[in-house]
Amino acid sequence: MAEYVIENGRIYTEFETIETGYIIVKSGKIAGLGKGEYEGTLPKYDANGLHVLPGFIDIHIHGGYGEDAMDASETGLKHFAESLLSEGTTSFLATTMTQSDDNIIKALKNIVKYQANHNKYQAADIVGIHLEGPFISEHKVGAQNPKYVQRPSIEKIQQFQNIANQQIKVITFAPEVSGARETLAAFHDKIKFSIGHTVATYDEVNEAVEQGARHVTHLYNAGTPFEHREPGVFGAAWTNDTLSTELIVDGIHSHPAAVKIALKQKGNKQFFLITDAMRAKGMPDGEYDLGGQNVHVKGAEARLESGALAGSILKMNEGVKNLMVFTGESLDKIWRVTSLNQAIALNIEHQKGSLAVGKDADIVILDNDQTVCATIKEGEIHQFEKRIF
Ligand SMILES: [Zn+2]
Ligand SMILES: [Zn+2]
């Protein structure tokens, strides 16, 4: 495999931002990283004036570019994962919907099959599965299909996990429903339980955290809102330091000020940028399917017939840009909400999530407008509309 150097970039590392530095890539890994000028003999790519970050990790994404994880199509997943490189995403959790057991099982089997066969240099990695439902509350379905909501059981989760070859890393669930407590006790060591699509009270959320829940799904959407006498799911998310939370930062799912409050409350280590994107991302306006329901997509919005928001068409690099605008924060502070926090949560931080010697060379290079200039996937350079090399 090619060996080369990315030089003159502004490099974001776990410990500091290097104003001008270089990264040496060898055999798909980061082999060196330093300040100032590179003086060796390897081929050089000039990233002068550009931002060099770890590749994005999207832990909540159903689809995009015409594809959906629920389609259970191997070629569809391939196209989806390849296309994600264009927005800087190098790893993601394929996210399922509240659907029939049969359809969920088909999707799980397809993901496992795809993982065994795919070319890791040419596409974003599926680093696991996010099961969004079916163990949610029928009172907060959002764009999930209420027909297929069911109660959690140890047997069902074990069955799904076995079919998924232990790849289920996150389950979005409602902690107040019957069976939730038992399944949390049985699986919280192995699976990250994320509170979402729920009518849990503030107290119920905090109890679920004591039992092992660790995350909140799409903060502000499909949960009990903050009230000053009943702070609800979102009040608990703000104040419980054990909980991390994810946000769809498209300016539609939440008001920019609500995003700013969330970052202030959670800090940059417990805030995860997600897209929650569906298949219309990267596609023209029109009619699309989401988990068997019809979705109208116009401009930046995707809605069911009922008017309920139906996932997003957000791209990760656009989310980064929005987050900077909404909060007034710099990349120095927020880069880790796109990668490192997720890598730690998924226990893959030894391999991914930051720019450090020995880790995979999963790198995104952005300009000052957060346009993706290049995405490097385990050493392989991909360029899009704006070519820099
Ligand atoms: Zn949802
Ligand atoms: Zn979702």
Cα of 65 from ligand 2 centre, angstroms:
16
Provide the token pair at 366. Answer: 């952005």
Cα of 284 from ligand 2 centre, angstroms:
21
User: Which residues have CB under 8 Å from 315's CB, separation 6+?
Assistant: 86, 87, 275, 277, 281, 282
pTM: 0.98
Which residues neighbour ligand 2 (ion) by CB within 5 Å?
Answer: 132, 276
> pLDDT tens, 341-352?
999 999 999 999
Give me the catalytic one of 276, 285, 332, 360: 276
Closest listed residue to residue 130, CA positions, set 85, 153, 98: 98
Instruction: Indicate if the pLDDT at residue 1 is higher than 70.
Output: no
**Minimum-distance ligand to the CA of 136?**
1
Instruction: Indicate if the pLDDT at residue 382 is higher than 70.
Output: yes
Q: Residue 179: exposed, middle, or buried by beta-carbon count in 10 A (0-12, 13-18, 19+)?
A: middle
Cα of 132 from ligand 2 centre, angstroms:
6
Question: Residue 388's CB: how many other CB atoms inside 10 A?
Answer: 15
Cα of 129 from ligand 2 centre, angstroms:
12
**Minimum-distance ligand to the CA of 174?**
1
> For 128, left (φ over 0), alpha (ψ -120 to 50), or beta?
left
Cα of 48 from ligand 2 centre, angstroms:
37
d(CA 219, CA 197): 10
**Minimum-distance ligand to the CA of 197?**
1
Query: What is the percent of the chain with per-residue pLDDT over 90, rounded to a whole number?
Result: 95
Mean pLDDT, range 28-54, rounded to an integer: 97
Cα of 96 from ligand 2 centre, angstroms:
8
Q: Are 123 and 78 in contact (CB under 8 A)?
A: yes
The pLDDT mean for the chain works out to 97
**Minimum-distance ligand to the CA of 131?**
2
Q: What is the pLDDT at residue 388?
A: 87
Cα of 61 from ligand 2 centre, angstroms:
6
Q: Report residue 293's pLDDT band, with 50, 70 and 90 as the boundaries.
A: confident
d(CA 97, CA 228): 32
> pLDDT tens, 149-177?
999 999 999 999 999 999 999 999 999 99
Cα of 12 from ligand 2 centre, angstroms:
29
Which residues neighbour ligand 1 (ion) by CB within 5 Å?
Answer: 142
Instruction: Phi first, then psi: give them for residue 260, nearest 5 degrees.
Output: -65, -40
Instruction: Indicate if the pLDDT at residue 112 is higher than 80.
Output: yes
**Minimum-distance ligand to the CA of 311?**
2
Q: What is the pLDDT at residue 144?
A: 92
Q: How far is CA 234 from CA 210, 322, 340, in A?
A: 17, 21, 23
Q: What is the pLDDT at residue 386?
A: 83
Q: Reply yes or no on whether 289 is catalytic.
A: no
Instruction: Indicate if the pLDDT at residue 41 is higher than 80.
Output: yes
> pLDDT tens, 215-226?
999 999 999 999
Cα of 278 from ligand 2 centre, angstroms:
8
Q: What is the pLDDT at residue 121?
A: 96
Q: Are 369 and 54 in contact (CB under 8 A)?
A: no
> For 8, left (φ over 0), alpha (ψ -120 to 50), or beta?
left
Q: What is the pLDDT at residue 16?
A: 97
DSSP state of 360: B
Mean pLDDT, range 187-196, rounded to an integer: 98
Helices and strands, number each (H, E), in the chain:
10, 21
Q: What is the pLDDT at residue 336?
A: 98
> pLDDT tens, 275-288?
999 999 999 999 99
**What residue type is assigned to position 180 of the chain?**
A
> Per residue, what are the HEC states of 259-327?
HHHHHHHHCCCCEEEECCECCCCCCCCEEEEECCEEEEEECCEEEECCCCECCECCCHHHHHHHHHHHH
Q: Report residue 2's pLDDT band, with 50, 70 and 90 as the boundaries.
A: confident
